[in-house]
Structure 1
Amino acid sequence: MSHICVGIQVDEMSDFPSGSQLQISPKIQQSLQIPLRSPISLQVGQKTVSCQVQTFTSNGSLIRIRKDVAEQLHVPDGIQLNIRYDNKTRKIYLGPVFGVLISKLYRSPEGMFGSTSSFCKEVVQGAKSKGILAFIFTLNDLDRENQTVKGWRWVDGKWVQRVLPFPDTIYNRLGSRKDENRFGAQDWIKNLKKNGVSFFNEHFLNKWQVHEALSSIREASPYLPYTQMHKGFNSIKDALERFPQVYLKPANGSLGIGIYRITRNGNRYSSHYSTMSGSVKKEFSTLSGLYKYLSPKISRISYLVQQGLNLVKVGGNPLDFRSLAQKDSSGKWAVTSIVGRIGQNRSIVSNLARGGTIVPVTKALRSASPWHGERPTKSQLEKVSILLANSMEASMQGHFAELGIDLAVDTQGRIWLLEINAKPSKNDKQILTEQKKTRPSVKKLLEYAIYLFEEPGKSSGYIPVSLRKTQKKRKR
């Protein structure tokens, strides 16, 4: 379905011929085969009006909208938008209208959108040159009755809130599970999707649900460590009988918070956990003694018991790799970036929030040790990332277009999945430095919004035939 990026000009009613509400250049009319002087629909976001189209003398890609129609659609004057025409529905679409949904506004030195302020500005600014009407909003800014939203746009060097049409596409950046799980939030999200809004990265991921989903995909399962739900003392006992080291991870955790490393050394056991100032170690002569210490900390929420891996390290510190996988302009998964992350102070995690640092992939692999097998390449890490993104999409419900995929490598050179994150950080200072050009990850988000505008109804994404054919039958 073809589309053209056009300039939008809003003019007074007196400037239009009688009965005409929309004027387009002959170039646009011929390219999209838009009928003239007959009723058609004009849609922007989720707002639609009826109008008649005429051509006007212009050699450029410009459309003129009568002021009263523009006001009904809440289309700002002087912007650029993409235009496409659907002959079956006799409807002209202008857009896409792209909203970034956040939890709330902040009063902070970083800006009104908190630590994501730089990212939000970059999305809204980068959208302009691609013919996208982008804005930032909260659920409280939605007006369901009038199909509008009070969105924040960057205008003349400052954030300005304007009444805008409901978006075609929403990128969910709600900052916590609590915000997502509020009754009001879920009600809004269901209604948005019901009304045809493409709502992607619609929820946080649960580690156990991701593990179960990927376990059903034959190609993905070799990258998964042994993982079980914590169901009491025997869960840890059984795991330690199989492996000398296991990790306890919150099923809904993030930023490395609440992770414990349990090590069996002969008849003694130790527990490690990380704080901002370093690693804390506790020694126990019996496993029951260790469990008595841990039980109050891990029994109140869902925990996983996971196989400890003999991973390569850098200077004795943990190393993993954060791959950012995103849907591209054709709706397929691609790796936008991949970096190595090195923990500090012999921490058990490498998260940047815990003092970790970012290094290029090739440098990280070159600096890591010990190696008893062949080192993987950056290309291999990227291929595994795409496979895992496709596998998750094939086996889990939900629309996702951006995933943070954490990988690690053991001393034999084998690649393992540590975690998949549906809300990759947008505030890592090592990555999100001020820059004049739009960063690649933002470009990918905007290109995917255009893809959804061009190909409505394809928001469920791409699932390779090979993955659909090789899914294991789940036990009933």
Structure 2
Amino acid sequence: MVSLGIMLSDLSKEQRYSTEIAKRASKSGWKVFRFKSSGIDTEAKTIQGESYNPVTNLWDVKKFTIPTFIYDRSFHGLTRDDQKVRNKITWLKGQAQFLGHGLPSKWEIYTKLKDLPLLQAYIPVTAQATDAKTVWNHLHEYEQILLKPSFGSRGIGIYLLSKVEDGTVVTMTKHEKRYERHFKSKEQLHRWIESLLNKFQFLIQPYLPLSNLDNEPFDLRILLQKDATNHWVEQGRGIRKGNKDCITSNLATGGTAITYEKFIKEIAHPHQKYIELTIGHILRTLPEELEAKFQPLFELGIDLGIDRKNRVWILDINSKPGRKIIETLQPDKKDDLYHAPIAYCQYLSDNLVKAGETVEENLSLRNN
């Protein structure tokens, strides 16, 4: 029997999403489980988690064997997973077919994409924040820079550093509000930067003017997923607008959603065409380049910025994207989102059969 396991960081997260997927999969006779990476037992080759019960529409606590397919929706904050967790996930990838293998750190992605002729014009210059001196040198060169977590998501942990007459101002968004801290001396700033770098890995980018005339930051989120024929399809797009004078526009940090259609209509016609052609080029090129450089993927959240000169920038690429903006702006898309993982599993299953082996035979070969 085909089975699907949904791996989560916390079983209380994405409950509706996992349940809606399970409802649809169970109608085809599939078993669906959800679990945390900590529930993986590499010696017994079992997983402790929950099993979906189609009769009660509830999840029952259960220990189960390794599912046929794994849909990895786990997140682990700003730091790398600890070695024990990484080892368990690596082991699991040798036991089951993952829908997508995820992407590495933002720095690794940047180093692979920055010199590609078809994409390099849209990728902001990026450097590693190895120490306070490096950060200071970039701030001196650009006057305004962003510090972004190398393993971050949802706009959390991003800092804007700005040179001012009497020192440096550090700005961040927290609890939907703008916060500032003023460092009057280079030494004070260096101590703060070093304390930050001792906890997390950061990247440095020049600050781009990605806000509207009301000084509200915004970006464009586009959700792509593979379909039942292994082709990338766009599931939806929308503009995320942040609060005035804040530096992030993510919905998780207080942003609001606006339709792309409304946004693009407010741009002068000649610029509309350029922006749409550029977006189309990026969507055709980026997924293929990512899979050529890394491992197979199932879904992507691509965040694009559009500056005041109407230039388009690739701000972030997420292999475990959220769906909130699509569900908010295009609620009729929800069923497509719930069905997409199942359709792609079916493609993977059919592809193995065409190759002359069943899913079970393929997994048996992996396990021996």
Structure 2: gaps of 5 or more residues: 355-368
Residues 198-347 of structure 1: pairs in structure 2 closer than 5 A: 198-203=97-102, 205-264=104-163, 269-284=168-183, 287=186, 289-313=188-212, 315-347=214-246
143 and 209 in structure 1: CA distance in 2 versus 1, 3 angstrom threshold: closer
What residue is the counterpart of 1:354 in the other structure? Answer: 253
Cα contact 2:70–2:99 (8 A) shared by 1: yes
Please say if 1:193 is aligned against 2:93. Answer: yes
Deviation at 1:273, TM superposition (A): 1.3
1:143-163 deviation digits (Å, cap 9, x = unpaired): 875778765114224314367
Deviation at 1:259, TM superposition (A): 1.3
What residue is the counterpart of 2:17 in the other structure? Answer: 119
Give 2:313's aligned amino acid. Answer: W
**Inter-partner Cα distance in structure 1 for 2:73 and 2:286:** 22
Cα contact 2:173–2:247 (8 A) shared by 1: yes
Cα contact 1:314–1:342 (8 A) shared by 2: no
Deviation at 1:136, TM superposition (A): 2.2
What residue is the counterpart of 1:38 in the other structure? Answer: none
Residues 430-449 of structure 1: pairs in structure 2 closer than 5 A: 431=327, 438-449=334-345
351 and 387 in structure 1: CA distance in 2 versus 1, 3 angstrom threshold: same
What residue is the counterpart of 1:410 in the other structure? Answer: 307
**Inter-partner Cα distance in structure 1 for 2:297 and 2:222:** 15
Give 1:357's aligned amino acid. Answer: T
* Higher Rg: 1
Which has the larger displacement, 281-290 or 268-277?
281-290
**Inter-partner Cα distance in structure 2 for 1:394 and 1:382:** 19
Superposed CA RMSD in Å reads: 3.5
1:173-209 deviation digits (Å, cap 9, x = unpaired): 22326998345544443333334x2124445641111
181 and 293 in structure 1: CA distance in 2 versus 1, 3 angstrom threshold: closer
374 and 457 in structure 1: CA distance in 2 versus 1, 3 angstrom threshold: farther
**Inter-partner Cα distance in structure 2 for 1:393 and 1:147:** 30
What residue is the counterpart of 1:169 in the other structure? Answer: 69
Fraction of identical pairs, as percent: 23
239 and 322 in structure 1: CA distance in 2 versus 1, 3 angstrom threshold: same
184 and 229 in structure 1: CA distance in 2 versus 1, 3 angstrom threshold: closer
Deviation at 1:233, TM superposition (A): 3.7
Count how many residue pairs are aligned between Structure 1 and Structure 2.
351
Higher relative contact order (CA 8 A, sep 6+): 2
201 and 146 in structure 1: CA distance in 2 versus 1, 3 angstrom threshold: closer
Cα contact 1:343–1:357 (8 A) shared by 2: yes
**Partner SS for 1:374:** helix
374 and 256 in structure 1: CA distance in 2 versus 1, 3 angstrom threshold: same
TM-score (structure 1 length as normaliser): 0.64
**Partner SS for 1:313:** coil
Cα contact 1:172–1:200 (8 A) shared by 2: yes
Q: From 292, 297, 318, give the equivalent of 1:421.
A: 318
Deviation at 1:373, TM superposition (A): 7.5
**Partner SS for 2:321:** coil
Cα contact 1:403–1:421 (8 A) shared by 2: yes
**Inter-partner Cα distance in structure 2 for 1:447 and 1:410:** 37
TM-score (structure 2 length as normaliser): 0.81
